Chain A
Amino acid sequence: MAHVGFPEQDGRTDGPLRQRVHGPAGRAVSDPPGLPRRDLPGLDRAWSRVVVAPDAEGMPRHWHLLDTGPLLQERGEEVVGTLLCVHGNPTWSYLWRRVLAQAPPGWRVVAVDQLGMGWSERTAEPRTLAQRVDDLDHLTDALGLTGAGPLAVLAHDWGGPVSLGWALRHTSDLAGVVLTNTAVHQPAEFAPPAVIRLARAPWLLAQVCRRTPAFVRATTALSVPPLPAPVREAFAAPYRTPGRRAAVADFVADIPFEADHPSRATLDAVADGLSALADVPALLVWGPRDPVFGQRYLDDLATRLPHADVQRYAGASHLVLEDRPEGIDVVWRWLRENVATGSGRPAAVGSAGHPEEPAESSRSLSDDVPRVAVRVDTSAPDSPAVVELRGGRRSVTFGELDRLVDDVARGLLARGVVPGDRVAVLVPPGIELTTLVYALWRIGAVVVIADAGLGLGRLGSSLRSAGPRHVVGIGRALRLADVTRVPGQRLRVEPGGDELARLAEEGRGASPALPDPDEVGGDADGAVLFTSGATGPPKGVVYTRDRLGAQVALLRDTFGLGRGERLVAAFAPFALYGPALGLTGVVPDMDVTAPQTLTAAGLAEAVTAVDATVVFAAPAALRNVVATAEGLDERGRTALAGPRLVLSAGAPVPVDLLRRVRELLTHASTHTPYGMTEALPVATLDPVEELGAGGPGSTDAAQDGVCVGRPLERVEVGVAPLDAHGIPAEELVTTPGAVGEIVVRGPHVKDRYDRLWTTQRASERPVGWHRTGDVGHLDEHGRLWVEGRLAHVISTPDGPVPPYAVEARVRALPDVADAAVVGVGPEGTQQLVVVLVPTERGGAVARLTGAPRGQARLAPGATADAVRRVAGVPVAAVLVRDWLPVDVRHASKVDRGALARWADGVLHGRTVRGRVAALLPGPAHAPMTRSR
């Protein structure tokens, strides 16, 4: 809007303004606002301009800005959106140079230097937060930014409160908010950041922030990886003298830690006002390795802006967009997708100036999707709900469980758990875990579950990434949480301990009102689970309550799990769903985190205890059951004839193993559901039946890969065909035989990846589907065949080769115990290498040290010839090892990445430096063990 009265509102300064700059050292510096005549890396001088606008008190002030507006005007481009960027302390608009440089067509970017900062005018007095909000307000008026189309803000550090304070006054113009490493609230339970507290100490403040450039320099020294020296210099350029640094110290002094601080009320108003932004799309981009605005502030903001998308860059620090420049692309992509612009997308600006909601509503499930409420089924209150056989028998009926859940829920409320809170639950399966999870769901909290199979370090980093407000766990888990600096209040619960009883007691005493079970929305988050992260850091996977319910319903309908059935729960995740379905669950006497500890006798005991009809066990557990079958007495054998169904998931299950399981559980069919943390189950089959004579399975020799059955009802499966380079297409097909990435859709598919906006976007193509990362095809009977992981597809000059089929053919050779296929060399021209484990292995020493060194690594000529004859594709080399690296959780997924690096080294495709680097363990690498 035009603002008469400010003659220089839109002009560059005609003559240099002489200003006096105050300084504690008593030095007055005269220098004009505006960029000095010096090139700074990445900065286009054409963006730089000086604008005069009144400050909070009406005094005209010279602002330095980086602004693409004049350039757009020059080019005659219509402005479709404006992004206002506000830096923090002690940086300046230079922080946003790449944001300007990468602005999409039609987007105007205005990056201000706050008064007293950067190349803007120095003020005589320190400015408070309230003044800065007013200052910015007057500036945007002077620039005519408000009321002129979609406007988004991007802020960092203390630019966050300033810009949010401004945003709350302009909600009608506001089309999006992007916040990076900032805060609006100092959570009471945490001490303020030590660095800032230290800098705030009066004797240090002047020293650190003003007299010396220590604070200015420290800010740019935090970056991981380090910033180039010229960039660090550019950040420090406006703060060369104590006089120019005055506002840096003033800013630190203006942080309202104390309740009576003059800026406290303003900051609290901003924090409390954020609920007014519930309709404004928000994105939080975070570097958690920030000594000031670390993870806890992300957690706080994510609570205040529950609808916000989050992109968390593990390992990135305070200047997150410097550490992860790719984040700028993410910000722009997000803005273009979420912020309605005049001409950019069909979602035009609504009548009230509000952008229409982006098409996010497709996420919620329609009402006709069958789902089971995630609460205890009480139709048979006197039947046992959970029976534990570990360390003596304990059990609880559905009625007891229901009451205990309510009381514990009240106790948790009394302890300060509120709906929407994330609560990590680190308790082994059993009565306590079941009670806690249902109690948390009862009050609308979000259950965060991670298991020890991730490896301890990754368990910690996973939990940190989820940012739980509370951690409930056994003593050992809590100690681990402490060591790995997982945030959240601690609550100790031991299996068989009295902690839950006390919590229930507290709950009965305080008796706070429990929310109406139907009141908590189905779109609210229900659980965060973690992928095993075989190819990178584990990813958090968020399920809404509806999606959890849909998963329970899908399991019920697929396997006919009706009320009153009894389930042996030797596989952790699904044991939890029993109470919602009215299933009696029995936890056998075993260490559930180590599936191979289930014995045949232990299984028989569990089956006997409840006369079980269904057994759910990991492949490793079944393997041990078969191996310990001699230990069964007659009664045990009879008991095992009872169950009608054995379910095994989590890793490929060899048909041979299932046949042997059927010899023990004589009346059971053996189903192996296929799926992943993000979508389970997708398909299922009984391999023994399917591959038996007569069925369609008898002609399966022609199919490549492992059959996982037909997609379940309500689950859609598509294939994104691979091109010659092994890149999956965007479009999905269901053509039989087309090989590509398996893409699924269904009511039980994850809602999103947690705080990984880009990963979520990449996985959700097309929208509403989930890219599984598995490669396979559908056959003419509509059955799905999995041929390997997309990451393990070998990209040869003749096209992509998925590993499973070749491996299966090699494994069928005599004297081959196991085989894996990997690629070496650059993408597109990779050579295929077969690594096999012969039945005849080396001695004990060789087993301990891996493959024997020397010539034995190369398969004998006859073996290599045999492999080449059956492989069906060109094989460059055949190598021999005594074991294959496999994952810890299931002990059956071959780590083909590690194997490929090993093969690459053996075949000398790598430099000495590369080989040394491969020896050093990577921090994000999945724990690995050896195949048997």
Chain B
Amino acid sequence: MADRVLVTGASGMLGGAVADLLAERGQDVTVMQRRSAGGRHREVLGDIRDRDAVRRAVAGQDAVVHLAAKVDVVGPWMDFVRVNATGTRNVVEALRSGGGGRLVQVSSPSVAHTGRSLAGEGAGPASPMRARGHYARTKAAAELFALLADSPDLAVTAVRPHLVWGPGDTQLVGRIAERARQGRLALVGPGTALIDTTYVDNAAEAVVAALERIEHAHGEAFVVTNGEPRPVGELVAAICRAVGAPAPRLHVPRPLAWTLGAVVEGAVAVSERLPGVPAVTQPPLTRFLAEQIGTAHWFDQRRTREVLAWTPRVSIDEGLARLAEASRA
């Protein structure tokens, strides 16, 4: 019998892929989003910050895959708290009051990242105090809250896909392509930091695997990547090549990037406070970004693959080929 699964944040690339994959596998999928996207899945309109709306959406569902989040790199702290932390609490409480079920909390490796290099590490503990930036801190709190709710009635697992990309990606691929075309794309440092990424289909399969294997995976967080780290410079160049944009020429030394990031953040904070000045939502650089692309980020995938019984099917090269094909179309 098909499970009834609610997918929040299905308007994003990964959320959409997860909803499609679940439906493909015969599950009864409902998506929840703020505005109708006109997709092929049953829609419940509502804001994740709205406790009652969430409760209505969750009612009668066997499981929830919770992806809705505010992922911007800048913005007022309270906006992040309301969407990421309160939103997750709303989902957990809705499930609880409905007598339990299953929850896959889609998180991010940044919840455990305190700014240093990560080379071959597993899923570290989420740290709301030490994670970098509003997004990571609020996602860390959300993950902790969700995993704490893991109980015999409510099975909870957290999946942390790292740098998800693919055709239709407006975040990583979209920004790189846009800036490259404007000639504004710069690499931090020599571009040799080794970085893990995840092709979107692999990430979606991992999320679904977490739901299917939740009896083994509950109570734990798993980092999900392609397991093929690449130097960031090579990766960015390859993405540019795939989408037909010029390769980056600028290199910003790491300390300078960090400093610039700090200045930009200050400017953004000012813009948020000054009346009459439009708030900056797409700043060129922040300290968080500088760290993210200036230091190594790659992960030990052995535990993830063992517990989720999942391996990435689309290699980076294959993903790049698909990206190229999609951008030619």
Interface residues of A (CB under 8 A from B): 797, 824-826, 828-831, 853-855, 857-858, 861, 864, 868, 874, 876-877, 879, 904, 906-911
Contact = CB atoms under 8 A, between A and B. Distances in A.
B195 to A, nearest CB: 9
B190 A857 contact: yes
B194 A861 contact: no
Interface stretch (B65-73, B86-94, B130-138, B224-232): B224-232
Contact of A855 (B191, B238, B295): B191
A400 to B, nearest CB: 64
A826 B300 contact: yes
B194 A831 contact: yes
Interface residues of B, number: 31
A803 B317 CA distance: 24
Interface of B: 116-117, 119-121, 187, 189-194, 227-231, 233-234, 237-238, 241, 251, 294-296, 298, 300-302, 317
A858 B194 contact: no
A908 B229 contact: no
3 closest A-B pairs by CB = A909-B119, A825-B120, A908-B296
Contact of A879 (B192, B237, B302): B192
A868 B228 CA distance: 12
Contact of A857 (B116, B192, B317): B192
Nearest to B302: A797
A918 to B, nearest CB: 14
Which residue of B194, B241, B294 has the most chain A CB atoms within 10 A of its CB atom?
B194
Given A861-B241, A874-B228, A829 B300 contact: yes
B234 to A, nearest CB: 6
A858 B301 contact: no
B120 A911 contact: no
B194 A909 contact: yes
A853 B190 contact: yes
A831 B237 CA distance: 21
B162 to A, nearest CB: 14
A907 B237 contact: no
Contact of B227 (A797, A854, A857): A797
A854 B190 contact: yes
A907 B120 contact: no
A858 B190 contact: yes
B112 to A, nearest CB: 16
B192 A831 contact: no
B194 A877 contact: yes
Nearest to B295: A908
Given A825-B119, A858-B233, A861-B234, A908 B298 contact: no
Nearest to A879: B192
A907 B251 contact: no
Contacts of B227: 797
B296 A830 contact: no
A568 B158 CA distance: 71
Contacts of B119: 824-826, 904, 907-910
Given A855-B187, A911-B116, 20 more contacts: A797-B302, A824-B120, A825-B120, A826-B121, A828-B302, A829-B120, A829-B302, A854-B190, A854-B251, A861-B234, A861-B237, A861-B241, A868-B317, A877-B194, A877-B231, A879-B192, A904-B119, A907-B192, A908-B192, A908-B194
A826 B233 CA distance: 23
25 contacts: A797-B227, A797-B301, A826-B119, A829-B120, A829-B300, A831-B194, A831-B229, A853-B190, A855-B187, A855-B251, A858-B233, A861-B234, A861-B241, A876-B194, A876-B228, A876-B230, A876-B298, A877-B194, A877-B229, A879-B192, A908-B189, A908-B295, A909-B296, A910-B117, A910-B119
B122 to A, nearest CB: 9
Contact of A877 (B120, B189, B230, B317): B230
A906 B119 CA distance: 12
Contacts of B121: 826
A238 B238 CA distance: 71
B194 A864 contact: no
A861 B116 contact: no
Contacts of B237: 861
A830 B116 CA distance: 18
Contacts of B233: 855, 858
A876 B187 CA distance: 19
A858 B233 CA distance: 8
A879 B231 CA distance: 10
A906 B231 CA distance: 10
A195 B153 CA distance: 73
B161 to A, nearest CB: 18
Contact of A830 (B120, B190, B191, B294): B120
B231 A858 contact: yes
A868 B191 CA distance: 19
A383 B227 CA distance: 68
A876 B195 CA distance: 9
Contacts of B193: 907-908
Contacts of B298: 825, 831, 876
B234 A864 contact: yes
A411 B37 CA distance: 102
A907 B120 CA distance: 12
Which residue of A861, A909, A910 has the most chain B CB atoms within 10 A of its CB atom?
A909
A858 B229 contact: no
Nearest to A904: B119
Contacts of B116: 911
A288 to B, nearest CB: 37
A139 B251 CA distance: 78
A660 B225 CA distance: 50
Nearest to A907: B194
B240 to A, nearest CB: 10
Contacts of A826: 119-121, 300
Nearest to B251: A855
Contacts of A853: 190
B125 to A, nearest CB: 18
Nearest to A797: B302
Contacts of B234: 858, 861, 864, 877
A228 to B, nearest CB: 28
Contacts of B241: 861
A415 to B, nearest CB: 59
A564 B325 CA distance: 75
Contacts of A879: 192
A864 B234 CA distance: 9
Which residue of B189, B190, B294, B317 has the most chain A CB atoms within 10 A of its CB atom?
B190
A857 B294 CA distance: 15
B67 to A, nearest CB: 27
B192 A877 contact: yes
Nearest to B118: A909
Contacts of B187: 855
Which residue of A797, A828, A831, A908 has the most chain B CB atoms within 10 A of its CB atom?
A908
Contacts of B228: 874, 876
B17 to A, nearest CB: 24
Given A830-B120, A858-B234, A824 B251 contact: no
Contacts of B229: 831, 876-877
A325 B237 CA distance: 52
Nearest to B301: A797
A861 B301 contact: no
B189 to A, nearest CB: 8
Nearest to B238: A861
Nearest to B122: A829
A904 B194 CA distance: 9
B230 to A, nearest CB: 7
A433 to B, nearest CB: 50
Contacts of B120: 824-826, 829-831, 909
A835 to B, nearest CB: 12
A911 B194 contact: no
A47 to B, nearest CB: 40
Nearest to B237: A861
Nearest to A833: B194
Contacts of A876: 194, 228-231, 298
B191 A908 contact: no
A908 B230 contact: no
